Structure 1
Amino acid sequence: MLNKRISLIALGILSATQAMANDQAESKGFVEESSLKVLLRNAYMNRDYKDGNPDKSEWGQAAIGTFSSGFTQGTIGVGVDAFGLYALDLERNEDRSGAQGIDFFKKGASGEPADDLAKAGAAVKFRLSSTTLTYGDQMPVLPVLSYDNGRLLPESYTGTLITSKEIKGLELNAGRFTAESRKSAEGHDSGGLKSINVLGGSYQFTEQFKAALYASDVEDVLKKQYVNANYVFPFDKDQSLTLDFNGYRTKLEDSYVRDNNITGDDNKIWSLAATFATGPHSFTLAHQRSTGDSNLGYAYGGYQKDQGRVGDGGNTIYLANSYWSDFNAEDERSWQLGYGLDFSTFGVPGLSYNFAYVRGDNITTSTSEGGTEREIFNQFKYVVQSGPAKDLSIKLRSSILRVSQKSSEYNVSGNEVRVFVDYPINVF
């Protein structure tokens, strides 16, 4: 059914004849609007697990090249997008690699991580008015299918995506993807995904209010719906209050529940965050709640071959309380106190700091109820503002996560450190 709805919406989008936006009419040409960018990334992640679990860490150097052409001129413009990825394993430690949450280099049949990874992808794109159809290898950023770029290399997906911006403030998306490239492995179909259909859109009702609705259907795994509402109350030129609501409803397929020995098939999870910004400071209070009968809680991302993972992108969790822990266990309730600081006001442009304390309770597992977890998150980020290293960013992030014994089936205690150095180069 979702397949048919996508087809109908796509036809409706492409047949729109109203006098609306027309990006294609302003096309300057295939070559004239082309760009080639290279991102050099050095990334290190260390997880010092507690309760007798072995520590894990990975370190790598990556080069991520992306090419995006403009569109040919005419009624229907044609263009090409492409990427090339390479990563070198700088640690090469069989004992310390292999943590599911790090996943820089997938272990092979021998049990050893790869020494390096190399892969590439390309997509062809067509534009009519302000509607674009893209087919091929892509990195989608949607609430129900969002690729993971928070590790050494990014994920990618192969399929078709239609994006329409014919009406000012309205964006519609419809797509179908049939292969997933795991961020830690070579090949275009290393994730085990059969297919995923996505459908939805967002609308900027006013300058202050924006909302979104999306749905997805992962073949033989689950169906998912998403809703968002975001409202900004401006008080002064440098003061505002932002309310952000996000919610997912997930229904697992009976065969997936049976084959993976899962209990229950339904989850609902939502978060509401209030952020008050004043000058360089921001203060956040957020609440998140998970309900339903599935012992997976909110299931997302990862790879279908791993229990509890579904193949819809490692960033498909548009929720407030997602740091090291996602606070997404069965029946879990969590609160967050957050703080952010922009140091530009104090004479250090490009430097920012973020802190969060999140506590979750009421966690249910197969053996207990009423479990808890808590996390302290700190992050410094600096972006070079000028000179030869302009736009180079250094991100230092740490988390202290403590999980009660009652919740040990769901999560594990530990200390995490992440160091990312990104240097983007605009070739042209």
Structure 2
Amino acid sequence: MLKTRISLIALGLMAATQAMANDQAASKGFVEDSSANLLLRNAFINRDKKHGTEDQSEWGQAFIGKFSSGFTQGTVGVGVDAFGLYAVRLDGGKGRNGGAGIDFFKPGNGDSDENPTGSPHNLARAGAAVKFRVSNTVLKYGDQMPELPVLQYDDARLLPESFTGTLITSKEIEGLELNAGRFTQEARKSMEHRDSGGLKSINVLGGSYKFTENLSASVYGSDVEDVLKKYYLGVNYVHPLADDQSLTLDFNGYKSDIDKKYVAEADLTGDSNTIWSLAATYAFGPHSITIAHQRSTGSTGYQYGWYQNEGGVGDGGSTIYLANSYWSDFNAEDERSWQIGYGLDFGAFGIPGLKYNVAYVRGDNINTHGFGEGTEREIFNQVKYVVQEGPAKDLSIKLRSSFLRTSESVRLSKYNDDGNEVRVFVEYPISIF
């Protein structure tokens, strides 16, 4: 049904829109259009848990190299994308590693006879994909890092996740992008093997369209084998108010139909969930104020990410395009949450590259199944500075903290717990060519 709807939308848009210039006809060649870069990432996350739960902490240094070739000339262009990942453990947390929320180096994956069950001292993983282009349509097969609302790889930790499969991306019509793919392997971010996530298969289909310069929308669907079917709708509208003022409305929503077999295996409370968020951001000069509401309904909470061989969904650790997702995702069964946020760009005060964001989110109406109404609240802070010039140009330092507090009913239901989180990320991108 979803496939039919997207096809009809695409046909209508094709009839009303001018085709884009042919990208393949403008190809300069495999070598001429190639690029390579290296990202140095130093990452530290510490979670101070309350109520007897063990704290979590990990620190590591990552080297993330990526190569993207151009396409050979001709009607059908051929190219290659590749990546190489390497990470060194600087601090395994002294027994505090292994938490699902950090997962830099997976315990039980030791790298020597003396350390058979501990965390490895280093990780290395590589992958490559071959790509073919006709006009403005690209077919890619191999190891990839997809960025779709229903399949979004996690790049918010030390090393990124990756998936193995086929993805077709078509941009034949100006403003319209269509995607269709099938992936059969997932590489866990804390392990070396390509199939370490235990993914059976995931099919994805959908597209996005930019109606005007200020209005865009996306519709996507996915089918994760033996787990769930998921549907997504996103709409974004930016309304200019003055030269330095604007109002942005951002809607994101998911509907999930969960397989009964997975419901039993994951010990869920039900087999359906609908969750959506609507955020309004008023930007004026260097300031921005955000107000957002998020609501989860159905017989269970929103399910996403983690790894199938550990009871997760397997659709990527960032597949949650929702306004109120910080440390807590505020995605429990029947949960309603509100956010007030503020952002400041210090460039207007003579410090370009420095930005600050703070947000307060409160959730209530959580169904704890017998423990009473559940509530949770979080205060989020983030400071980020990007060097603007000189030898360290583009070096970024990001400091983030969250303070999460929950009601006793939420803790008894094992949905969430109190804690304080600190993240420190230092990244330095290097363009090789």
TM-score normalised per structure 1 = 0.95
Match of 1:299 among 292, 298, 303: 303
Match of 1:376 among 374, 379, 399: 379
Query: 1:198-223 deviations in whole A, cap 9, x for unaligned?
Result: 00000000111111100000000000
- Report whether the alignment pairs 1:135 with 2:141: yes
- Report whether the alignment pairs 1:251 with 2:229: no
Instruction: Give, in whole Å, the separation in 2 of the partners of 1:420 and 1:220.
Output: 36
Task: Give 3-state SS (helix, strand or coil) of 1:90's partner.
Answer: strand
Hey, what does 1:418 align to over in structure 2? 423
Instruction: Give, in whole Å, the separation in 2 of the partners of 1:45 and 1:401.
Output: 15
- Report whether the alignment pairs 1:152 with 2:158: yes
Unmatched 5+ stretches in structure 1:
none
Amino acid of the residue matched to residue 44 of structure 2?
Y
Shift of 1:375: 0.3
Instruction: Give, in whole Å, the separation in 1 of the partners of 2:81 and 2:137.
Output: 16
Instruction: Give, in whole Å, the separation in 2 of the partners of 1:378 and 1:20.
Output: 42
Instruction: Give, in whole Å, the separation in 2 of the partners of 1:286 and 1:251.
Output: 25
Relative to 1, partners in 2 of residues 1:19 and 1:340: Cα closer, same or farther, differing over 3 Å?
closer
Match of 1:360 among 360, 363, 377: 363
Shift of 1:293: 0.4
Shift of 1:261: 2.7
Shift of 1:20: 3.8
Contact 1:228–1:246 under 8 Å retained in 2:
yes
Contact 2:57–2:92 under 8 Å retained in 1:
no
Instruction: Give, in whole Å, the separation in 1 of the partners of 2:101 and 2:120.
Output: 17
Amino acid of the residue matched to residue 371 of structure 1?
G
Instruction: Give, in whole Å, the separation in 2 of the partners of 1:91 and 1:334.
Output: 36
Residue correspondence of structure 1 range 226-237 to structure 2 within 5 A: 226-237=232-243
Match of 1:116 among 122, 136, 145: 122
Instruction: Give, in whole Å, the separation in 2 of the partners of 1:306 and 1:172.
Output: 32
Contact 2:56–2:93 under 8 Å retained in 1:
no
Contact 1:373–1:403 under 8 Å retained in 2:
yes
Query: 1:248-267 deviations in whole A, cap 9, x for unaligned?
Result: 00011111112233221000
- Report whether the alignment pairs 1:343 with 2:309: no
Q: State, as a whole percentage, how many aligned pairs show the same letter.
A: 71
Instruction: Give, in whole Å, the separation in 1 of the partners of 2:252 and 2:346.
Output: 29
Hey, what does 2:406 align to over in structure 1? 403
Task: Give 3-state SS (helix, strand or coil) of 2:25's partner.
Answer: helix
Hey, what does 2:193 align to over in structure 1? 187
Match of 2:170 among 153, 164, 174: 164
Match of 1:214 among 220, 228, 232: 220
Contact 1:147–1:315 under 8 Å retained in 2:
yes
Instruction: Give, in whole Å, the separation in 2 of the partners of 1:207 and 1:118.
Output: 42
- Report whether the alignment pairs 1:317 with 2:323: no
Shift of 1:19: 5.1
Hey, what does 1:391 align to over in structure 2? 394
Amino acid of the residue matched to residue 247 of structure 2?
L
- Report whether the alignment pairs 1:34 with 2:34: yes
Hey, what does 1:203 align to over in structure 2? 209
Shift of 1:369: 3.4
Contact 2:19–2:174 under 8 Å retained in 1:
no
Query: 1:91-150 deviations in whole A, cap 9, x for unaligned?
Result: 134511011000000111654111110010000000000000000000000000000000
Task: Give 3-state SS (helix, strand or coil) of 2:348's partner.
Answer: helix
Runs of 4+ in 1 over 6 A off after TM superposition: none
TM-score normalised per structure 2 = 0.94
Task: Give 3-state SS (helix, strand or coil) of 1:406's partner.
Answer: helix
Instruction: Give, in whole Å, the separation in 2 of the partners of 1:34 and 1:53.
Output: 49
Shift of 1:5: 7.3
Instruction: Give, in whole Å, the separation in 1 of the partners of 2:222 and 2:4.
Output: 11
Contact 1:21–1:167 under 8 Å retained in 2:
no
